[in-house]
Chain A
C-alpha cells in the first residue's frame, strides 16, 4: 500500500508539471502551429510571467533579501492575470519590431530577449533577489486546505499510515485539479477561437502570407495578435509554476527547460493541433521523467546523466523533423461540414 501511495503522489506531482508544460505548449501552438511564428524565447515569457506573479502575489522581502520592491501578497488570480498582461506587453514590443521582418529574425530576437531577461533576473537583485531566488511564494488556498487536512487527521487518529500519507498530499491534488481545470478551459477557448474566422486567417497567413494579404487581411496585425496571445499564455504558465514551486530561481528558465523541451513537445504531439500539443507535453515530460529513473542505474555523474538525457531529447526532435514532421497526431483538418 505504501508503494501505491508513493506512486500516486509522484503521479500527481508529475501531472502538475506536465500540465503547466501543456499550457506553454498551447501558447507556442498558437504562435508556431497556427500562425507560423518562430519563437525560441519561450523561456523569456515563461520567466517574466513567473516573476511578475511573484512580485504581485509573492511575499514581501524578508530579512535576508535584496529585494526592495514588490511582494504585495495580492490574491493569486491577480498574479495570474498580471503575468499574462506583462508577458503580453513584452510580446507586443518584440512583435512590433520583428513581425514584419523575415521569420528567422523573430527567432533571433526572441532568443535574445530570453537571454537578456535571464541576465536581468541574475543581476538585478533589487527586483528578483538575483541568484538567491524568491522563496515562500504562497500557493492559493494552501493554509485553508492544510488546516482542514490537519483537523481531519487529528479527529481520526486511527487511520492507517498510508491513508495519512495520502491525505497529507491533498494540497497537490487540489493544485492538479486547478491546473487541469485551467487547461480544460483554455483548450475549449482556443478551439473556439481558432475555428473562428480569426483562426482561419492565422492558418491562411501560415500557409501563404502573400495570398492572405491579397485577400485584404492585415497580415502584420494578425501575426502580432497571435504572438501576443501565445505569449500571454506562456506568462500564465509561469504564474502557475511560481505558485506551485513556491520558489523561483534563474536556473528554472534556462533555454532547455524553458524553451527547447516545449518545442520538442509541440513538434512531437503535432503542431497545429491543440490535442497534439497537450499530448506532446505529457508524453515528452513522461519520457524525461522515465529517463531520470533509467540513468539512475547507469554509472554516470549527475552532470553526465542530465547531459545524456538532453542529447536524447535533441535526437528525438531531429528524428521527428526528418521522419515524421507532422508529429504524432498531425494537424487537425478543418473542413466545412458540407465536405465531410
Chain B
C-alpha cells in the first residue's frame, strides 16, 4: 500500500492543481463580495463547455489540427482556452450586473441564496443545450512517462505546469498592479477602500472576471485530465472547492492554493484505503474537521 504513495501524491498534485484554480477564484469572490458563491463550480463547467464548443468548431472547420508532442491536444486548444476564459469572465460580470448588483445592499445570505439559483440556471442551460451525455476532449489513449519513479501522462504534467503559471501570474497581479492592490484593500475593508477613492464597482467587475477566468481554466484542465466533461462537473467539484477555501482560510489566495493541493492529495491518497466513490466525502471530512478545530483556516486570521 505504501509503495503506491509517491504515485498517489503525484496524482494528488494533478487534481490539486485543478481544485486550486477553482478555489482561488472562489476565495477571491468570497472575500471581496462577502458571500459564498455556490455557482462557482458551474462557472468551471461553463468554461469547460465553451472551450469544448470551440474545439468542435475548429475541428469542423478543419483548422488548427494536429497535436503538441505527447499532449492530447494541439494548436486548437490555445484559442479555445483563451476564448473560454474570456467568455466565462464576461458571463460572470453579466450575471453580477443582472443579479448580484441588485442585491448589494441585501444581507450577504441573500446573495448566497441567489447564487444557488444561478447555479441551477447555469447547469441546466448547459444541460439543455449540450445534453446529459459526456463530451470528449480527446479519445486517444496516452502513454505515461516515468519521472522520479512515478508515472504521469504528458497532459498531467501540463496541468500542473499551467496551474503553477496561472498562480504566479495572479500573485504578481495582486501584488504589483493597481487593480490587484485595490482588490486586496476591498477584501480587508470595503468602506475604507471606497473612502480612499477606489471605484468599488469596477473592482467587483475585475474580481468576477478574474475569478471566473480561473474557474474556467480549472474546468478546462479537469476536462483534459478526465478526457470528458458532463454538466455535473462543477457541482461535483463544489465540495472540494469549499474544503480547499476553508482549509486555506477564506480570503487568502495563497491559502486557497495550499488548501487545494492538500485536498487534492488527500483525495488521491485516500483511494489507497477507501473506495474511490467516496473521494468527495474525504474532502468533506477534512472540511468538517477544519470547522471543528480551526475554523479560520490554516492561514486565515480571525
Which A residues form the contact surface with B (CB < 8 A)? Answer: 36, 38, 40, 97-98, 101, 103-105, 107-109, 111-113, 115-116, 119, 122-123, 255-256, 260, 263, 267, 301, 303-304, 307-308, 310-311, 313-315, 317-318, 321-322, 325
CB of B288 within 8 A of CB of A112, answer yes
Number of A-B contacts (CB under 8 A): 114
CA distance A106 to B36 in the complex (A): 11
Which residues from B are CB-within-8-Å of A263?
113, 116
Please, how many residues of chain B have a CB less than 8 angstroms from a CB on the other chain?
41
Q: Say yes or no: is B63 at the interface (Cβ < 8 Å to chain A).
A: no
Which residues from A are CB-within-8-Å of B281?
115-116, 119
Q: Which of B38, B108, B127, B284 contacts A307 (CB 8 A)?
A: B127
CB of A101 within 8 A of CB of B295, answer yes
Which residues from A are CB-within-8-Å of B204?
none
Q: Which of A105, A111, A122, A314 contacts B121 (CB 8 A)?
A: A314
A-B contacts, 16 of them at CB < 8 A, read A97-B292, A105-B246, A116-B280, A123-B277, A123-B278, A256-B120, A307-B127, A310-B124, A311-B124, A311-B125, A311-B128, A317-B114, A318-B121, A321-B106, A322-B114, A325-B110
Known: A38-B109, A104-B36, A112-B239. A119 touches B280 (CB 8 A): yes
Which residues from B are CB-within-8-Å of A113?
284
CB of A97 within 8 A of CB of B291, answer yes
Which residues from A are CB-within-8-Å of B120?
256, 260, 310-311, 313-314
CA distance A322 to B105 in the complex (A): 11
Which residues from A are CB-within-8-Å of B99?
318, 322
CA distance A40 to B235 in the complex (A): 14
Which B residues form the contact surface with A (CB < 8 A)? Answer: 35-36, 38, 99, 102-103, 106, 108-110, 112-114, 116-121, 124-125, 127-128, 131-132, 235, 238-239, 242, 246, 275, 277-278, 280-281, 284, 287-288, 291-292, 295
Which residues from A are CB-within-8-Å of B246?
105, 108
CB of A98 within 8 A of CB of B291, answer yes
Q: Which of A116, A122, A314 contacts B284 (CB 8 A)?
A: A116
CB of A308 within 8 A of CB of B121, answer no
CB of A104 within 8 A of CB of B35, answer yes
How far is the CB of B35 from the nearest CB of chain A, in Å?
7
Per DSSP, are chain B's interface residues mostly helix, strand or loop, or mixed? Answer: helix
How far is the CB of A49 from the nearest CB of chain B, in Å?
20
Which residues from A are CB-within-8-Å of B38?
40, 107, 111
Known: A115-B284, A122-B277, A322-B103. A108 touches B36 (CB 8 A): yes
How far is the CB of B69 from the nearest CB of chain A, in Å?
38
**Of residues B114, B116, B118, B121, which shows the largest number of chain A Cβ atoms within 10 Å of its Cβ?**
B116
CB of B113 within 8 A of CB of A317, answer yes
CA distance A115 to B35 in the complex (A): 21
Which residues from B are CB-within-8-Å of A325?
106, 110
CA distance A43 to B85 in the complex (A): 33
How far is the CB of B100 from the nearest CB of chain A, in Å?
10
CA distance A299 to B27 in the complex (A): 41
How far is the CB of B294 from the nearest CB of chain A, in Å?
11
CB of B117 within 8 A of CB of A314, answer yes
How far is the CB of B104 from the nearest CB of chain A, in Å?
11
Which residues from A are CB-within-8-Å of B275?
123
CB of A321 within 8 A of CB of B277, answer no
Known: A108-B36, A112-B288, A303-B132. A314 touches B124 (CB 8 A): yes
CA distance A293 to B291 in the complex (A): 45
Closest to B231 in A: A307
Q: Which of B102, B131, B132, B287 contacts A112 (CB 8 A)?
A: B287
Which residues from B are CB-within-8-Å of A322?
99, 102-103, 114
Closest to B242 in A: A108
Which residues from B are CB-within-8-Å of A315?
117, 121
Which residues from B are CB-within-8-Å of A317?
113-114, 116-117
**Interchain residue pairs A-B with the least CB separation, the first 10:** A314-B121, A307-B128, A317-B117, A307-B127, A307-B124, A314-B120, A112-B284, A104-B36, A310-B124, A318-B117
How far is the CB of B267 from the nearest CB of chain A, in Å?
13
Which residues from B are CB-within-8-Å of A97?
288, 291-292
CB of B132 within 8 A of CB of A318, answer no
CA distance A307 to B124 in the complex (A): 5
CB of A119 within 8 A of CB of B239, answer no
Which residues from B are CB-within-8-Å of A318?
99, 114, 117-118, 121
CA distance A36 to B113 in the complex (A): 12
CB of A321 within 8 A of CB of B113, answer yes
Which residues from B are CB-within-8-Å of A108?
36, 242, 246, 287
How far is the CB of A102 from the nearest CB of chain B, in Å?
8
How far is the CB of B86 from the nearest CB of chain A, in Å?
24
Known: A97-B288, A122-B277, A321-B103. A303 touches B121 (CB 8 A): no
